[in-house]
Amino acid sequence: MVKEPILPAHFKERYAQILGNKNGEFLKYCALPLKKTIRINTLKVNDAARFAKELQAKGWNLEKIPWCDYAFNISGIEPGKTYEYFLGQIYVQEAASLIPAIVLNPEENDFVYDMCSAPGSKTTHLAQIMNNKGCIVANDISYKRLKALGFNIELTGTLNVVVTEGDGTRAKTDERFDKILIDAPCSCDGTVRKDWKALSRWNPKACRFMAQRQKQLLKVAAKALKSGGTLVYSTCTLSPEEDEGVIDFALNGLGLEIQPIKLNGLKSSDCMTGWEDKEFDERVKNCLRIWPQDNDTEGFFVAKFKKI
């Protein structure tokens, strides 16, 4: 039986209030080890299905991720220490983290802006979907994190990326990009299965602070997106302020229209239409709120917009 870990009091109170009698299951999954997941890199592997069979023949235990044909849960082996990893044939990436790039679904000739790109899981995934064509501007505020991005770009054989360093909230670009991804910096409480220390920095004040920064990123992105273009916003937090609260803000005055999201095999939960004394726009129901217990993954949140 999994023991309930020691949690910050504010954290326990918040999610007990949100989840009610489902809170016990949430806490149970928070304490469970996170499954390891690999994405087969089709920039270096021609046939992902055949390559998966070859890995299984070597004794790899693979379980297909329902919403991604080239991604698998893996057990019994440390994928980051394998020959295939160092050749860039596989990339270690959490299963829920695959969703934003799949939802954005860039085409080969698109001009894409990845506003908060480091360390590069989603950037290299976008490049894979684009078959190394078109162009991705991969930006991040942190030079240290950009080093990891550069390593992963080189490792995966990604060729269609221009790397920039800067504060995304201060970018000044009007109607330039076909598609934009904001995998926003957040309070990260959805990642506790991977890094329990994330909760040592967690508090409601931090959630509110991050929400203001996320809103500013969306304001800048809305200006930078072409009319008719697609914007995907994602976080690895379950905080309503940073998820539905930010989407409520985006739907009022930024010229963005929410789009429904459906991925085969992916389970999601009802989005929140209000929190504390704030009521949210009913259209937030079109977003994906993913609790750890929904798919045995990290906690995650994804929204998709079209610029009117």
pLDDT tens for residues 11-25? 888 999 999 999 999
pLDDT 10s digits, 55-111 = 999 999 999 999 999 999 999 999 999 999 999 999 999 999 999 999 999 999 999
Give me the mean pLDDT over the 243-249 stretch. Answer: 98
Q: What DSSP assignment string belongs to 62-74? A: EEE-TT-TTEEEE
Residue appearing with tokens 């506790």: 192
Q: Which residues are catalytic?
A: 236
Asked whether 48 and 42 are in contact (CB, 8 A), the reply is yes
First CA to last CA distance, the chain = 51
Ramachandran sector of residue 131 (left: φ over 0; alpha: ψ -120 to 50; beta: rest): left
Token digits for 286?
């079109």
- What gap in Å lies between CA 219 and CA 209, rounded to an integer? 16
Instruction: Using the Cα atoms of residue 62, residue 66, residue 70 and residue 73 in order, give the sign of their dihedral.
Output: negative
pLDDT at 283 over 90: yes
List phi, psi (to 5°) of 139: -110, 150
Asked whether 31 and 2 are in contact (CB, 8 A), the reply is yes
Token digits for 120?
């590069």
Angle value at C-alpha 195, between 194 and 201, nearest 5 degrees: 145
- pTM of structure: 0.96
Other CB atoms within a 10 A radius of the CB of residue 191 amount to: 23
Domains and their CATH numbers in the chain = 96-307 (3.40.50.150)
